[in-house]
Structure 1
Amino acid sequence: MPFAHLYCVLLLLLLASALQNVYSIRGKPTNLGTLGTYGCLLDLIAVSVEVAGSPAHYAQIGDAVEFTCIVSGAAKVVGYRWLKDGFAVLTANRITGVGTSSLRLFHLTVEDSGGYGCQATLSTGEVRGSQTKAHLTVFESLSARLTCRGKNYDRVFWFRNDEKLLLDDPRYEITNHIGETLIIRNVTLSDAGSYTCQAKSTSGGRTEKSLTLTVETELKVVLHPANVTVQLGFRATLTCNISGIPTPGKTWFRGRTHKTVNTKNIRYVIRNDRTSSTQIIENIKKTDEDYYYSAGMNDHGQVQSNKGNVVVGSPPTPPPSGSPPIQIVAFKAIAYGRNDSITCRAQGLVRPIVSWTKDKQPLSDPSLLQDETGELFVVNVTYDQAGQYVCTIEVNNRPAVIQTVYVDVKAMVVVFRPPGPPVITTAKGFDGVITVNWTDPSFDGNSPITGYEAYWRQATEVRLL
């Protein structure tokens, strides 16, 4: 036990003895020596150590923060020590004051988040730790600060999109007791909107102010242009998606020259929307073969996509001159009133042209639909759809395949009639109760029987059972 503590203990024993003698003899305390004992008691009991300010602190990457250790009481402090999550804080290039009452952290990182406490070493040799800790949270993204200024008001309430803002979110912070400034930490896209501060006074006055928070995001390439191979004379398409707020402007560049794509050439078409940018090269030529990339720009900077290579291939070899196209003949039966399809699909690096005729005439019936692969769909078939269908596949404007399909529409005609009567097998009556048994009729009217109705007759009266 330190000597100072032993001294205080001896004084306490003497105090107890002196008080007993004083009160028993004179009825009031007169021993002035007890004043030193009271000072010792203050040193041991009245000393408290705490970290000043709010227990929760919020900052963003790169900010600075300061914590202050306050020691109250009559004791003299001879040294300080700071702890983070129970471990000693060490001096570093961006950390100062680890041995003083003020700890300063500069250029904060996410790793600085945690609980900070202090220890004070008293002149008696005792070490007292803070009863409270300061919890620091360092956010990665930026903060928004909304301020509502005015005079003669006592309370400020905040609303977002006309709904009262719940301040239990740890990202929200009010800078003073009346809620004058609202700070939103770690802002996300969902925080964008209209904010209203409503100031009220005890006299009944009220005023409002609305602010709009726009959340901007960094530029990012979401989809890079892919490598494409296209046949000479056909279309090449390159797509790049770049996200960011404000919406970035987008430009396409050609790799060989690193110059912007010449949109004055009518074969080059660029289509931009909020995030997507598409470059189309019509009637492609061998000189168009190169790599292309897109760049997005706004107030926050510029990003560039990867490069997409465009390879121009030779056109497909057409069928030998004078050779007849391949002939395919098929038969298909479709039930009346049904939906069906007739297959004539063509695919390849160069998309062939597929066309249909019915009974040697172009298709004009709206119930006959052709998709991009060439398959023909027949909707709600009637007798009018029966006939000869011819599908022609052309490559380089020359017929390569001709497929003929003969469609026969089968009728599905059913005539519904009333069912025959059921056959009664037994009928018994006893004590006012009649029991009747029967079997199904021999003819159901071309439709399943779903139920029966029984009647009984008394004299000329007929009643439904």
Structure 2
Amino acid sequence: MAVRKLLVTLEDYSEAGRYTCEVTSNIAGPAKTSDIQAQAITISPTSHVFAIGDKQVFTCASYGHTVMSASPTVQWKKNGNLINSSENIYQTAENTFGDKLVRNLFITLQHISEAGEYSCEVPSASGSGVYLMRNMQVQVAANVSTSPAAPIVEFGVQQIFICTSYGFPIPQITWKRGKNNVTATVNIYQTLQEPTPIPNKVIRKLYITLW
């Protein structure tokens, strides 16, 4: 029994594809072969920071799929679920360039709920139910507002200020006076950050009583 190993470290995506092991012997007859498939998958860009209304195209490319996989499918997902196409989020048909399969995802961000983890999946050429997957993140730049906008604080009357922010990942709010964090005293203190019913939107309150 003879063994010969092939070690493959893909340094370029052109190196993906079909590799064949061929065996010959002194016995008459054709050579015996066995194939393996080296696959690779990429996403570009791997993340993007959106503001509401921004547009971006993401490209998923699968390399080395065509020989052993009869009908490979590049599929975009969000949080592990298939993407249902809409006017602002949709994926194109697959395009084949040699042994490279490409599918684009178009996103025009209209709601913060559309931010999150997106992934691209391609079935393995082995046909064993294994999928190759790459992830990318759609982020939303933090937006901040405070209320009331122009308060008048009267002596002896407690005033509540609310800082509201949304974004993905979820922003962290801290009240400051000048460059320093507000230190809790009897008459001035901030609450813990609180979630709101709206995903990725948080608030933090500051209480002030002038004595």
The alignment's TM-score, normalised by the length of structure 2, stands at: 0.49
Instruction: Return the structure number with greater strand share.
Output: 2
Higher relative contact order (CA 8 A, sep 6+): 2
The alignment's TM-score, normalised by the length of structure 1, stands at: 0.25
Instruction: Return the structure number with greater helix share.
Output: 1
Decide which structure has the larger Cα Rg and report it.
1
